[in-house]
Amino acid sequence: MTTRIDSFQDYRSRMNERILEIDHLGIKRFFNLDTAAYKDAALDTSTKELLGLVASTVLRCNDCIDYHLIQCIAAGWSDRELYDALNVALIVGGSIVIPHLRHAVETIDLLRAEGTVVADTNR
Amino acid sequence: MTTRIDSFQDYRSRMNERILEIDHLGIKRFFNLDTAAYKDAALDTSTKELLGLVASTVLRCNDCIDYHLIQCIAAGWSDRELYDALNVALIVGGSIVIPHLRHAVETIDLLRAEGTVVADTNR
Amino acid sequence: MTTRIDSFQDYRSRMNERILEIDHLGIKRFFNLDTAAYKDAALDTSTKELLGLVASTVLRCNDCIDYHLIQCIAAGWSDRELYDALNVALIVGGSIVIPHLRHAVETIDLLRAEGTVVADTNR
Amino acid sequence: MTTRIDSFQDYRSRMNERILEIDHLGIKRFFNLDTAAYKDAALDTSTKELLGLVASTVLRCNDCIDYHLIQCIAAGWSDRELYDALNVALIVGGSIVIPHLRHAVETIDLLRAEGTVVADTNR
Amino acid sequence: MTTRIDSFQDYRSRMNERILEIDHLGIKRFFNLDTAAYKDAALDTSTKELLGLVASTVLRCNDCIDYHLIQCIAAGWSDRELYDALNVALIVGGSIVIPHLRHAVETIDLLRAEGTVVADTNR
Amino acid sequence: MTTRIDSFQDYRSRMNERILEIDHLGIKRFFNLDTAAYKDAALDTSTKELLGLVASTVLRCNDCIDYHLIQCIAAGWSDRELYDALNVALIVGGSIVIPHLRHAVETIDLLRAEGTVVADTNR
């Protein structure tokens, strides 16, 4: 069965490839810099993916939430830890975040139902 | 010497006291819930303060950045770790975040110059 | 006929129940505090639902707009009054609000076509 | 004694006059439309100023908060009613709103200390 | 074949007509002022549509992006110029803009596949 | 006489130097990418600085507005053209932008009073 997560990942991959075909060095470098920002450094990848999840939630971007949830689950964060991070986003961002909390909780459930979640290495 | 951090903390304490004098249960309960969100739970306080810092930075609130930097430094995060978290905020939020990055880096320098940084337990 | 309002309400109810199954006291308390904020107090419920509508519109959240429109219509606000409130949101928030104004006006029409609108008491 | 409210009002008046000297019809018409949005119509001025206050608070603009607080107090809203409206803004907008809540509560106190508050008729 | 652009334009036209049926002078005047803002004046229409595109992108509104892309293409901007403008929006707004960059690039491809793009004169 | 523009430029230069002393490749590369985004390419620098001005205005960042106004004036845009661009930002972003319009108009006046405005080449 194709879930909305699968459709999102297909669309995302297809359009990212399309964007990288564009002859614009600035856009390509931005994508590289974005990937690099989550690599192990002073902080490790798993902590930074959690930061990415909370940033995406307070900025209220469902696609970004889904992307970072995939990365967070692949990095080994448990549901209880993800809910605790989402609670920080909820208190910082307020009730306007609730529709995105519903989306995030549904995404976690869909990802857990799928079984193994693999990190996206080509951001 | 009184730094802008001291002035901010004085103003913040004075006005938070003033707000809690107000006879409004919802506001009081919101303040309690906000404090509770950063207590050790599935995630520990130090991780959650770092989440608060990144959320505050992408939402571009200098007072919130200063508050969470105080908490993060009291929790033991090093400058290199804080810069790495701020880099995530910068890539997520873009160049519009740069004025707040300048503010954050100055706050870190001011706090380190002051010496011991104590967490605010009465949020 | 199932309208997009019905689908939204089904999804919203189902996911809110799912969220409240989660063992996280902070999230549960936030939901309670959110419900409580709109109860009769110094201001009455109907005024506060109108405030919620305008806040949702300037923050550009369609789900929040739909929720507060249901509550506002159940509270007795007329279309002319709702349009006048939406005009305040439009002037404050600018043309970026227009897609949400289109959504809001369509929701009002769908709700009026359905007939009786009942307030959601379990937020 | 000159308070920060007086300084804000002086600056605001001076710069609004400067803006209206500019030979740009669109800007002039926007200012007129903004003034008109708060006139008695389907909703009365006092309700619409309260909507403007909550919109300004969730969008986190201190100057806009001060402007609408002056108008709200001139329109007769009590402190308890203003706090109840600000609580709606706090729950919708989250803890990122708290610095603006501190500002708003201080402005209310400054305005009450000044005595009579007169509505700004030349927005 | 009906693309999502066609569906968007149908919905947008239908709902704008519905909105202009509403007896609210403020809303009508706002729509007129919005149309007027992009007319040739000190800056020409094509430059102002590009400004509208970048403003819509950093504010992350897909409907607004689609609308301004139609206007920009009708005004004669090439794909390379549009990508260069979108790169400014990406650097200003950060990675949270990426889902809207994907949307914008897809819209450009859909519009080019359709052939002639006509400006919307009744905004 | 030291204006607020001079103080802003001093602070900005000093803190940018401080940030570039930090040993974080991601932050350095972001600053380079930001500078590069405004170089002549498919669009010329002057058009892109105008895009940066409007993006900064709708996102309501005074420091960013001042920076791009300096660049725009150095690039040769007239006051009438800048006002026309700011009018687009005002209509897109709404009355919440007005405090930033006041700031922008004051900055233009201060820069014109200073005489020659030189572009910042080390962003």
Whether A55 and B88 lie within 8 Å, measured CB to CB: yes
* Separation CA D6–CA D20 (nearest Å): 21
* Separation CA B30–CA B16 (nearest Å): 12
pLDDT on residue E13:
97
Q: Identify all chain A residues contacting D93, using CB atoms and an 8 Å cutoff.
A: 93-94, 96
With residues binned 3-state (H G I as helix, E B as strand, rest as coil), the percentages for chain A, rounded to 5, are 75, 0, 25
Report angle CA C19, B34, C12 to the nearest 5 degrees: 25
pLDDT tens digits for range D24-47 = 999 999 999 999 999 999 999 999
If one compares E121 and F49, the residue with the highest pLDDT of the two is: F49
Distance from CA of D17 to the nearest CA of F (A): 10
* Phi-psi label, residue A114: left if phi above 0, alpha if psi -120 to 50, beta otherwise: alpha
φ and ψ of E24, to 5 deg: -135, 110
Residues in chain D whose Cβ is within 8 Å of chain E: 25-26, 29-30, 33, 36-37, 41
Average pLDDT value for chain D: 96
pLDDT tens digits for range F96-116 = 999 999 999 999 999 999 888
Q: At residue C4, does pLDDT exceed 90? A: yes
Per-residue confidence at F120, pLDDT binned at 50, 70, 90?
A: confident
Distances (CA, A) of F119 to B58, B80, C66, F104, F116: 28, 33, 48, 17, 10
Q: Which residue of C has its CA nearest to D41?
A: C84
Complex ipTM: 0.96
pLDDT on residue F31:
98
Pull the structure tokens for residue F41.
């390419």
Are the beta carbons of C61 and C73 closer than 8 angstroms? no
Q: At residue C3, does pLDDT exceed 60? A: yes
Per-residue confidence at F122, pLDDT binned at 50, 70, 90?
A: low
Whether B33 and C33 lie within 8 Å, measured CB to CB: yes
* Separation CA E76–CA E81 (nearest Å): 10
Per-residue confidence at C110, pLDDT binned at 50, 70, 90?
A: very high
Distance from CA of D63 to the nearest CA of C (A): 13
pLDDT on residue D1:
66
Q: Using CB atoms, list chains with 3+ pairs below 8 Å to chain A.
A: B, C, D, E, F
Per-residue confidence at C116, pLDDT binned at 50, 70, 90?
A: confident
Are the beta carbons of C55 and D92 closer than 8 angstroms? yes
Residues in chain B whose Cβ is within 8 Å of chain D: 11-12, 15-16, 18-19, 22-24, 26-27, 30, 34, 55-56, 59, 61, 63-64
Q: At residue F68, does pLDDT exceed 90? A: yes
Per-residue confidence at E123, pLDDT binned at 50, 70, 90?
A: low
pLDDT on residue A69:
98
pLDDT (mean) for B50-72:
98
Radius of gyration of chain A (CA): 15
Does an H or E element contain E14, and which?
helix E4-21
CA proximity to D53, closest of D32, D75, D36: D75
Pull the structure tokens for residue E36.
């007027």
pLDDT (mean) for A25-35:
98
CA proximity to F65, closest of F79, F86, F34: F86
Share of chain A above pLDDT 90, in %: 90
Q: Using CB atoms, list chains with 3+ pairs below 8 Å to chain F.
A: A, B, C, D, E
Pull the structure tokens for residue F102.
């006041």
What is the number of CB-based contacts under 8 A between chain D and chain E? 18
pLDDT on residue D119:
87
Whether A33 and F36 lie within 8 Å, measured CB to CB: no
Are the beta carbons of B86 and A55 closer than 8 angstroms? no
If one compares A121 and C60, the residue with the highest pLDDT of the two is: C60
Whether A96 and C63 lie within 8 Å, measured CB to CB: no
Measured in whole angstroms, the distance separating CA F48 from the mean position of its chain's CA atoms is: 11
Q: Which residue of C has its CA nearest to D30?
A: C91
DSSP, residue by residue, chain C? ---HHHHHHHHHHHHHHHHHHS--HHHHHHHHHHHHHTSSSSS-HHHHHHHHHHHHHHTT-HHHHHHHHHHHHHTT--HHHHHHHHHHHHHHH-GGGHHHHHHHHHHHHHHHHH------S--
Are the beta carbons of E33 and C94 closer than 8 angstroms? no
Residue C36 half-sphere exposure, CB side, CA atoms within 13 Å?
A: 16
Whether C16 and A102 lie within 8 Å, measured CB to CB: yes
If one compares D18 and F114, the residue with the highest pLDDT of the two is: D18
pLDDT tens digits for range E47-104 = 999 999 999 999 999 999 999 999 999 999 999 999 999 999 999 999 999 999 999 9
Per-residue confidence at F50, pLDDT binned at 50, 70, 90?
A: very high
Q: At residue B106, does pLDDT exceed 60? A: yes
Whether C33 and B29 lie within 8 Å, measured CB to CB: yes
* Separation CA B83–CA A42 (nearest Å): 8
Measured in whole angstroms, the distance separating CA D103 from the mean position of its chain's CA atoms is: 12
* Phi-psi label, residue B83: left if phi above 0, alpha if psi -120 to 50, beta otherwise: alpha
pLDDT on residue F20:
96
Average pLDDT value for chain B: 96
Distance from CA of B90 to the nearest CA of E (A): 7
Q: Which residue of B has its CA nearest to F33?
A: B95
pLDDT on residue F98:
98
Are the beta carbons of E87 and E57 closer than 8 angstroms? no
Which residue in the block uniquely carries the two structure tokens 């897809």? E106
Distance from CA of E46 to the nearest CA of B (A): 25
Q: Using CB atoms, list chains with 3+ pairs below 8 Å to chain B.
A: A, C, D, E, F
If one compares A11 and C122, the residue with the highest pLDDT of the two is: A11
Q: At residue D65, does pLDDT exceed 90? A: yes
